[in-house]
C-alpha cells in the first residue's frame, strides 16, 4: 500500500539558513510526488511536483527512487517560508496520499 512519511512535525531554522524538509514514500508502482504548502489562514496549494523538475520560490525537490525519498530543500530560508508543508504521493493520476505535514518556522 502507498504511504508517505514526514518524520519531522516541527522544524525551525534561522532566516538565511538552509532548510530541508524530509519525505519518504512507499509505493509499488511508479510514483508521482508533490509538495503542497499551506500558509497561515490560506488553503492548501501546490508548491512543486517532481515531474516538472522546477524550482518554486527557491525550493527544489529531487525524487530519489533508490532511497524512496523526495526531500524539499531551499538554500536560504526566508520568513515568508513559514508554513505547513505536506508531501504527497499521487496514484491513478489524481488521488493523493499525504504525509502528516511539517510545520516550518523561519526565525528572523
Partner 1 sequence: SAVISQKPSRDICQRGTSLTIQCQVDSQVTMMFWYRQQPGQSLTLIATANQGSEATYESGFVIDKFPISRPNLTFSTLTVSNMSPEDSSIYLCSVASRKSNTEAFFGQGTRLTVV
> What secondary structure, in 3-state letters, does the chain show?
CCEEECCCCEEEEECCCCEEECCEEECCCCCEEEEEEECCCCCCEEEEEHHHCCCECCEEECCECCCCECCEEECCCCHHHCEEEEEEEEECCCEEEECCCEEEEEEC
Least distance in angstroms from the C-beta of 78 to partner 1: 24
Least distance in angstroms from the C-beta of 67 to partner 1: 21
Judged by beta carbon, residue 42 or residue 105, the one nearer partner 1 is 42
Judged by beta carbon, residue 15 or residue 22, the one nearer partner 1 is 22
Judged by beta carbon, residue 37 or residue 77, the one nearer partner 1 is 37
Least distance in angstroms from the C-beta of 75 to partner 1: 25
Amino acid at each position: 500500500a502507498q504511504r508517505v512519511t514526514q518524520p519531522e512535525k516541527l522544524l525551525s531554522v534561522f532566516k538565511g539558513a538552509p532548510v530541508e524538509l524530509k519525505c519518504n514514500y512507499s509505493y509499488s508502482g511508479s510514483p508521482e510526488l508533490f509538495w503542497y504548502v499551506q500558509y497561515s489562514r490560506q488553503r492548501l496549494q501546490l508548491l512543486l511536483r517532481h515531474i516538472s523538475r522546477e524550482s518554486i520560490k527557491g525550493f527544489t525537490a529531487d525524487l530519489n527512487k533508490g532511497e524512496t525519498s523526495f526531500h524539499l530543500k531551499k538554500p536560504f530560508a526566508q520568513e515568508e517560508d513559514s508554513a505547513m508543508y505536506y508531501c504527497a504521493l499521487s496514484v491513478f493520476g489524481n488521488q493523493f496520499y499525504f504525509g502528516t505535514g511539517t510545520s516550518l518556522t523561519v526565525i528572523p
